[in-house]
Chain A
Amino acid sequence: EDFMRAVILEWDEHLQSMKFVSDVLMYLNRVYVKEQKKLLIYDLGIELFKDNVIKHNHDEVGQKIVEIVITEITRNRRGEVITTTMYITKLINMLELLVESGGSADLQQYGENYYQTTFEPAFLGNSETFFYNFSQELVNYKLGSRYLREAAQFVKEEENRINFYLPSSTYPKLIDLMNNIIIKDKIDDIISLPYEQQGLSYWLQPVIGNIFEDKNDSHHFEELRILYQLIGRFADDFQLLRLRLKSNIISQGSQLPEFVKTSLQNAGEKKTTYNSTAFAIKWIDTVLRYREQIFKLSLESFQSDPIIEQTITYAMRDFINGNGNNRKNSPIVNAPELLSIYMDYHIKQKSKPSPSKDVNSDSTESIEFLRFIKDKDAFEANYANHFAKRFLNSKGTTQNGNANNKLGVDLEELILSRLGEEMGTTSLAKVIKMNKDIKSSKDTTSDWRKYTIKNQVPDLVELELKICNVTDWPKSMTKDYKSFSKSDTGEIQFIWPKKLRTTMGEFEEFWFSGKKNDNKSLYWSPKFGSMDMRITYPSRTYEINLSTYAGIIMLLFAPQSSNADGSMELTYNEIQELTGIPEADLKRHLQSIAVAPRSRLLVKSPMTKEVNDDDVFRLNESFKSPSIKVKVLTVSAASSVAPTRSKPKTEQEEEAEEVQSNIAEGRKIEVNAAIVRIMKSRHTIRHNELIEELIKQLQNRFQPSILLIKQRIEDLIEKEYLKRDEEERNLYHYVA
């Protein structure tokens, strides 16, 4: 300190006297110096000072100054308070003024000064070691959060320090050095620290924790913000952060199904499969909440940086579609199907009398989710399936103009139009046509009602129509539509009860009387729909709503259809003979009306859960129910199959499989069409270009696998649409 003070004093005095000398010799300065191109007196004085004081005795004083200044700054960096601030500034100023290589007068302002030649390199070298040691020390704590905080703190202080002491030319150099050593070289290690040492996975943990444990862990916004800022110091595109963030999100996302499963199990759900409704709803809710959380985080910590949000979106898309890193394992969750189930559930909820939540927000959420799904065609197929079921199984309510049902239909339409916006209307053509069918069914129903009133046809059953164009509805439902027709080849035919036959005959007459139905054929399908019946039991008369099949079974027991008194009995085989209902369906519906505890309309003996061929059924005389209206729920296909009989697949699984194979079939056609389209315009194309082009064209619908594409190419070669070049095996020609 004393040394510094002495040097500065000397320097000041020297400057002062030089000024006087310069003033006195002003004339000399103006004339002689200019003519001779010598240094100005003042500058000459500084030169002399440098040579005789600072550099005297092999730079002794100069070295000492440099050494002292650096030591002082280092002390300051360590957080010690130093008193020499003023001196440091002054000394550095002085060093800057000491022009090195005092050549001619023109050069002097560009010439290097002592600061640049001697002080700066020494200082930078020293800083490097310091930064290195400093960061190493921090890393050794093995605590990510701590590293971040301290590094950020240090960086801030250092910036101030540099601003204060050092000339602006050094600033960028030093900052660069600091960024490289403290941040760039270390930050990846820090981010990748395991959870216990508070790496990125630790900072992101609350995102999941908040969803499942319902406690509001505070997010590590602070750390992440620092992280963002630190990384932003040296890389504008946040490459590293994005990379690590992505892998973290994917690994978190891939855990979600497990979490969902366990949380469902804790909630008392016994059997949870990866495609049950409960799972679908919970999973999608979870994912949506996850998204919400992570974007909140992005807002708080990453200033909603678009590049980072894009990364987040990609990462989420990856885990939702289940193709993170292991492309071989098929994803455990089938996102398109689950989303469809989810939407199905919500639409059903909405159409019930208690319209609680906001419909709009819900469908928005669904659409948001849809954006993540890559295989849109799979979603469409599933959605169409659910849509059809909703319609066919919906209870007839038009006669009382039920507002709820109207809401349901509006809801369908609303969602349909939103889906249309998202995916384009062509891909939804089938669902839209189905929707049209529904409308025309309504019209036909009301026309029919007018017709019956006008014609006063006696003895008719009230009818609500659901007419579907076979081609537009999912195959799994329409495949056997003909088997119920009368004109079939005479295999197991379905026998409509007499009561209904009159009505049906009358309707057929009505149907074909209009001109518009000339070229359509009409098939009745008892598989869907429901009936309202009034059954008088000894205790009371009930209005019962039940499925068509069950209704037809009940009609067998109605007094009108038998000669005997009320106590008639029928065996299983007799029922089957009288109705012609396929075995699996018949057993299922018999279980619904004879085994299910709340709707035991019939009595079955022996009273077992399973329906056997020689079981006997009769009307349950002691049937009781608290309300007049009774709704018979059909036993689900899965549970109607007794566990002891190890039937390989339940009906649901079969249906899911069918949907899957439909999707696969559809894809084949789409790929073929796309190949032909490309070949038509290109005529000759290389294998890799073709694949690239195909993926580009199809990615809005689904992600075609290379294998699928190759098989399609082979298929087209076989069908002679394409030809492989005779010489060049990677080249295809279009065969017109």
Chain B
Amino acid sequence: FLDSNNYNLQRAVDAYFNSPSSKKSSAPVFDKALVAIFENYRDEDNESQIDINGTMQYLEDLEIEPEDPQSLTLAFFLHSPRMGVFSKSQFLKQWQQYGINSIDGMKKFLAQYHESLLYNEENFYEENSNLGYGKKEPVTFKKLYDFTFDFLMEVENQKLLDYQTAIDYWTLLLPLVVNTAVKDGSLQPDKRATVESRIEQWFEFVRNEYKRSFSKDSWSMFYLFFKDIIIKDPEKFTDYDEMAAWPSVMDEYFEYLRENELLEELV
């Protein structure tokens, strides 16, 4: 390396770390049993990923229904690029990280991981390149929620999520948020029904009035809106402020509720 870089030490070191051969040598050796599991589900035409058929099989073996929120957690955990697809590198890396190499282990781990996410226990950490190399941050439900949006993007450069799909996934995700809120005491159990009817009204509004697709920002902000406004005071939305930076769809929702007299008037 020194030869090829004119004895410039700096460049030689760079070249060493950048050269493909060095990467290969430092690449982790994956557990054979784990690789075998991957190979079991792998796409016949593409050796670096699992496709939809493999995914269905995989879920079945893990005893997870495709409609179960856990399937979303799995996709999130394995950094699935889009629905029904797992990449080989992430699959191996993520499971290896926790030393798991059996379907049974995966089943147990996933259940734990899912619980932790739901209640924001912050038992698990993920690298986040935004924070700097190797920095880790706790995995939270919000991350899973935001991930869902990207996960649902079907084509390159898609930026909007059509509202029907959005409603489907809210149906899956929002009850989890409600459960958590009841459990951690931020929502009184007797107000649960009100929150649930708010969700219904949100869907009605989106379906019959709004009828447009959602941007990532609106999707992501709705989680906060749901948590900070709806759950906090499902009857009156006390903390709602139309001057705050909520995306306009929430303002419209609020107006919709008010016009249909579904909101207890603020005093």
Residues of chain A whose beta carbon lies under 8 Å from any beta carbon of chain B: 687-688, 691, 706-707, 710-711, 713-714, 717-718, 724, 729-730, 732
Q: A711-B248, A714-B247, A718-B159 are in contact. Are A706 and B242 (CB under 8 A)?
A: yes
Q: How far is the CA of A268 from the CA of B218 in the complex (A)?
A: 55
Contact of B245 among A711, A718, A729 (CB under 8 A): A729
Query: Contact between B251 and A729 (Cβ–Cβ < 8 Å)?
Result: no
Q: How far is the CA of A508 from the CA of B197 in the complex (A)?
A: 70
Query: Contact between A718 and B251 (Cβ–Cβ < 8 Å)?
Result: no
Query: Contact between B217 and A710 (Cβ–Cβ < 8 Å)?
Result: no
Contacts of B251 in A (CB 8 A): 707, 710
Q: How far is the CA of A688 from the CA of B245 in the complex (A)?
A: 8
Is B224 among interface residues, defined by CB-CB distance under 8 A? Answer: yes
Among B226-259, those with CB < 8 Å from A are: 242-245, 247-248, 251
Contact of A687 among B216, B218, B245 (CB under 8 A): B245
Is B83 among interface residues, defined by CB-CB distance under 8 A? Answer: no
Query: Contact between B217 and A717 (Cβ–Cβ < 8 Å)?
Result: yes
Contacts of B244 in A (CB 8 A): 687, 730
Pull 7 A–B residue pairs with CB atoms less than 8 Å apart, ordered by A. A687-B244, A688-B243, A718-B215, A718-B216, A724-B217, A729-B224, A730-B244
Sorted from nearest, which 9 A-B pairs have the closest CB atoms?
A687-B245, A710-B248, A730-B245, A717-B217, A718-B215, A711-B248, A714-B247, A707-B248, A729-B245
Closest chain A CB from B220 CB (angstroms) = 8
Given contacts A714-B247, A718-B159, A729-B224, 15 further A-B contacts (CB under 8 A): A688-B243, A691-B243, A706-B242, A706-B243, A710-B251, A713-B245, A714-B248, A717-B215, A718-B160, A718-B215, A718-B216, A718-B217, A724-B245, A729-B245, A732-B245
Contact of B218 among A691, A706, A707, A714 (CB under 8 A): A714
Is B221 among interface residues, defined by CB-CB distance under 8 A? Answer: yes
Closest chain B CB from A726 CB (angstroms) = 8
Q: How far is the CA of A32 from the CA of B224 in the complex (A)?
A: 92
Contacts of A711 in B (CB 8 A): 248
Q: How far is the CA of A714 from the CA of B213 in the complex (A)?
A: 13
Among B42-58, those with CB < 8 Å from A are: none
User: Which residue, of B160, B216, B244, B248, has the highest number of chain A Cβ atoms within 10 A?
Assistant: B248
User: Which residue, of B224, B244, B247, has the highest number of chain A Cβ atoms within 10 A?
Assistant: B247
Closest chain A CB from B25 CB (angstroms) = 37
Contacts of A717 in B (CB 8 A): 215, 217
Contacts of A718 in B (CB 8 A): 159-160, 215-217
Query: Contact between A714 and B245 (Cβ–Cβ < 8 Å)?
Result: no
Query: Contact between A714 and B242 (Cβ–Cβ < 8 Å)?
Result: no
Q: Closest chain A residue to B228 by CB distance?
A: A729
Contacts of A707 in B (CB 8 A): 248, 251
Q: How far is the CA of A248 from the CA of B216 in the complex (A)?
A: 48
Q: How far is the CA of A711 from the CA of B224 in the complex (A)?
A: 19
Contacts of B160 in A (CB 8 A): 718
Q: A707-B251, A729-B224 are in contact. Are A714 and B243 (CB under 8 A)?
A: no
Q: How far is the CA of A710 from the CA of B244 in the complex (A)?
A: 10
Q: How far is the CA of A688 from the CA of B159 in the complex (A)?
A: 26
Q: How far is the CA of A235 from the CA of B239 in the complex (A)?
A: 39
Q: Closest chain B residue to A708 by CB distance?
A: B248
Among B155-213, those with CB < 8 Å from A are: 159-160
Query: Contact between A729 and B248 (Cβ–Cβ < 8 Å)?
Result: no
Q: How far is the CA of A729 from the CA of B245 in the complex (A)?
A: 7
Contacts of B248 in A (CB 8 A): 707, 710-711, 714
Contact of B221 among A691, A706, A729, A732 (CB under 8 A): A729
Closest chain B CB from A486 CB (angstroms) = 40
Q: How far is the CA of A710 from the CA of B250 in the complex (A)?
A: 11
Closest chain B CB from A735 CB (angstroms) = 13
Q: How far is the CA of A729 from the CA of B244 in the complex (A)?
A: 9
Query: Contact between B243 and A710 (Cβ–Cβ < 8 Å)?
Result: no
Contacts of A706 in B (CB 8 A): 242-243
Among B123-177, those with CB < 8 Å from A are: 159-160
Q: How far is the CA of A730 from the CA of B224 in the complex (A)?
A: 12
Contacts of B243 in A (CB 8 A): 688, 691, 706
Q: How far is the CA of A332 from the CA of B242 in the complex (A)?
A: 26
Q: How far is the CA of A707 from the CA of B252 in the complex (A)?
A: 9
Contacts of A729 in B (CB 8 A): 221, 224, 245
Q: Closest chain B residue to A686 by CB distance?
A: B245
Q: How far is the CA of A710 from the CA of B252 in the complex (A)?
A: 11
Closest chain B CB from A671 CB (angstroms) = 13
Q: Closest chain A residue to B259 by CB distance?
A: A328
Q: How far is the CA of A730 from the CA of B248 in the complex (A)?
A: 13
User: Which residue, of A687, A713, A729, has the highest number of chain B Cβ atoms within 10 A?
Assistant: A729
Closest chain A CB from B232 CB (angstroms) = 15
User: Which residue, of B215, B245, B251, has the highest number of chain A Cβ atoms within 10 A?
Assistant: B245
Q: How far is the CA of A373 from the CA of B159 in the complex (A)?
A: 39
Contacts of B224 in A (CB 8 A): 729
Q: How far is the CA of A53 from the CA of B216 in the complex (A)?
A: 95
Q: How far is the CA of A711 from the CA of B217 in the complex (A)?
A: 12
1/0 per residue, CB under 8 A from A, across B30-43: the answer is: 00000000000000
Contacts of B215 in A (CB 8 A): 714, 717-718
Closest chain A CB from B88 CB (angstroms) = 30
Contacts of A713 in B (CB 8 A): 245
Q: How far is the CA of A718 from the CA of B244 in the complex (A)?
A: 19
Q: Closest chain A residue to B215 by CB distance?
A: A718
Contacts of B242 in A (CB 8 A): 706
Q: Closest chain A residue to B130 by CB distance?
A: A726
Q: How far is the CA of A490 from the CA of B159 in the complex (A)?
A: 38
Closest chain B CB from A675 CB (angstroms) = 13
Closest chain B CB from A732 CB (angstroms) = 8
Q: Closest chain B residue to A712 by CB distance?
A: B248
Q: How far is the CA of A717 from the CA of B220 in the complex (A)?
A: 12
Q: How far is the CA of A724 from the CA of B221 in the complex (A)?
A: 10
Contacts of B245 in A (CB 8 A): 687-688, 713, 724, 729-730, 732
Q: Closest chain A residue to B242 by CB distance?
A: A706
Q: How far is the CA of A724 from the CA of B217 in the complex (A)?
A: 8
Query: Contact between A710 and B159 (Cβ–Cβ < 8 Å)?
Result: no
Q: Closest chain A residue to B250 by CB distance?
A: A710
Closest chain B CB from A457 CB (angstroms) = 58
Q: Closest chain B residue to A718 by CB distance?
A: B215
User: Which residue, of B217, B243, B244, has the highest number of chain A Cβ atoms within 10 A?
Assistant: B217
Q: Closest chain A residue to B243 by CB distance?
A: A688
Closest chain B CB from A378 CB (angstroms) = 22
Contacts of A714 in B (CB 8 A): 215, 217-218, 247-248
Closest chain B CB from A484 CB (angstroms) = 38
Q: How far is the CA of A97 from the CA of B218 in the complex (A)?
A: 83
Contacts of A687 in B (CB 8 A): 244-245
Contacts of B159 in A (CB 8 A): 718
Closest chain B CB from A478 CB (angstroms) = 31
Q: Closest chain B residue to A690 by CB distance?
A: B245
Q: How far is the CA of A724 from the CA of B218 in the complex (A)?
A: 11
Q: How far is the CA of A729 from the CA of B221 in the complex (A)?
A: 8
Q: Closest chain A residue to B245 by CB distance?
A: A687
1/0 per residue, CB under 8 A from A, across B85-127: the answer is: 0000000000000000000000000000000000000000000
Q: Closest chain B residue to A709 by CB distance?
A: B248
Contacts of A688 in B (CB 8 A): 243, 245
Closest chain A CB from B161 CB (angstroms) = 12
Q: Closest chain A residue to B146 by CB distance?
A: A726
Q: How far is the CA of A698 from the CA of B215 in the complex (A)?
A: 27
